[in-house]
Amino acid sequence: MSSWKGIHELYRANPLEADRLLWERESEPLSRRGFLRGSGLVAMSTALGATIPFAHLMPGGLIPAALAETVDPFELPGKDGLVILNDRPINAETPAHLLDDDITPASRLFVRNNGIPPAVTDANPDDWNVTIDGESCARPMTLSLADLKKKFRHRTLQLQLECGGNGRSEFYPPARGNQWTTGAIGCPEWTGVRLRDVLEHVGIKDDATYVAYEGADAHLSGDPSKRPISRGVPLAKARENESLLAWAMNGERLPPLHGAPLRMLCAGWPASVSGKWLARLMVRDRVHDGEKMSGQSYRVPCTPVAPGTEVADADMCIIESMPVKSLITFPRSGIVHARDAALEVRGHAWAGDTRVAGVHTSIDFGATWQRARLSKPANRLAWQHFDADVKFPAEGYFEVWARATDAAGRAQPMVLPGWNPRGYLNNACHRIAVQVAA
């Protein structure tokens, strides 16, 4: 199943099959009794936002009342207006007009899962442990969340988080994976400790090359020997002041869908390097070889290729800093606007490891551009806000385009950038439709 059909539709068609599609592991029998002891219980508990004490007594083929009463086909707990792209694992993006806040609220941050989230309770998150080891770790040890809070200085930073496949739906020939449009991006405030401080505490050997993570999420197959994802970053990126081990978002506990109680954050690179439900940190003496680090995962051709080209794994390079990009968050695409009034346009721009130097808008499909007002970032690796007053010369159909340029002079392309097999790094100009009337 590639996307949600709607929980009511599924249960009307075949209640037990709906149980299997929505909640069970593939290896579990088609029965409510089976899934309630396994990953299905975790999935349903996550959807409901609470544990189910009498789960073992719940009849098969029954929609939970909390979901049966919803008007929408399906809702994610704590989320507002997100579009669900995939149900196994859960992946959901935020429409551009819902990303208008300067600081992204938790309710509007996209969700990208690779496996089945662990069953995490709010009872005592400070008891959560993370093991730090690896070939290049001088003093392997296990630290609790309470230890991290006590031993290291707390930091709060606003940091961008963007899926490497954001914009994948525009590539042709189509690329495999979740068909993100523009909404796999957000920039909340995060609170935690610097990853660098923790690495210095355990000691780093001279041959250290990479820092990688493992989370507590389970593989979709249910095989405990398999990891759904385990990625990392070079030591220099891990040691940046903005790389964190975070336990809070926007002053509140980290939500379960975003890695509670602890996650790694390395902003400006694909969000897949910012591991959720952090259980292990590894200081490696080599480029990390975990799940989704090899083959073509989060890699692009080392040299440009023609659309549709088959590229050998050996010719694919790991994605590091994300490209410059912008997003119009106000107004919503498709509005009707009066010709005699200027239209206020605003949004955000970001540029991976560097900063945005300028943003321009166009109403003539990129023939001419006007400079927008651009704010400074809250801190390094936070997005920047822009706004502009746009005037239209006539009635009719117009498109407002936004194009950002980074500090190195690299600008967004007006059309799709270089095609790649997995549909990564689409940073084409964002545009909205405006109908100008008398």
- 212-220 average pLDDT score: 95
State yes or no: pLDDT of 167 exceeds 50.
yes
What is the rounded average pLDDT for all residues in the chain? 89
**What pLDDT was estimated at residue 15?**
72
CA neighbor of 318 nearest in space, from 164, 135, 180: 164
User: Kindly report the CA angle at 382 between 379 and 385, in degrees rounded to 5?
Assistant: 105
Asked if the bond preceding 413 is cis, omega within 30° of 0, the reply is no
**What pLDDT was estimated at residue 1?**
31
Lowest mean pLDDT among 43-47, 110-114, 174-178, 386-390: 43-47
Q: Give the residue carrying structure tokens 């309770």.
A: 121
**What pLDDT was estimated at residue 25?**
39
**What is the spatial distance between Cα 162 and Cα 352, in angstroms, rounded to a whole number?**
9
Lowest mean pLDDT among 12-21, 247-256, 320-329: 12-21
* Per-residue pLDDT tens digits for 45-101: 666 665 676 677 666 766 666 565 544 445 688 898 999 888 778 899 999 999 999
301 half-sphere exposure, CB direction, 13 A CA radius:
16
- 190-215 average pLDDT score: 98
Rg over alpha carbons for the chain, rounded to the nearest Å, is 23
Query: 95 near 108, Cβ under 8 Å?
Result: no
State yes or no: pLDDT of 35 exceeds 90.
no
**What is the spatial distance between Cα 194 and Cα 372, in angstroms, rounded to a whole number?**
34
Q: Which domains does the chain have, with CATH numbers?
A: 1-75 (no CATH), 125-318 (3.90.420.10), 325-437 (2.60.40.650)
Tell me the sheet residues that pair with 214: 280
Query: 394 near 436, Cβ under 8 Å?
Result: yes
**What is the spatial distance between Cα 275 and Cα 227, in angstroms, rounded to a whole number?**
12
Residue type at 335 in one-letter notation: I
**What is the spatial distance between Cα 343 and Cα 13, in angstroms, rounded to a whole number?**
47
- 166-188 average pLDDT score: 94
- 215-241 average pLDDT score: 95
Phi, psi of 321 (to 5 degrees): -65, 135
* Per-residue pLDDT tens digits for 372-418: 999 999 999 999 999 999 999 999 999 999 999 999 999 999 988 98
**What pLDDT was estimated at residue 334?**
93
Element (H, E) at 356: strand 356-362
- 94-123 average pLDDT score: 93
**What is the spatial distance between Cα 390 and Cα 371, in angstroms, rounded to a whole number?**
11
Residue 54 CB partners (closer than 8 Å, separation 6+): none
Phi, psi of 123 (to 5 degrees): -55, -55
Q: E strands along 275-315, which residues?
A: 278-284, 299-301
**What pLDDT was estimated at residue 357?**
98
State yes or no: pLDDT of 197 exceeds 90.
yes
Buried b vs exposed e over 30-53: b needs ≥16 C-beta within 10 Å? eebebbbebbbbbbbbbbeeeeee
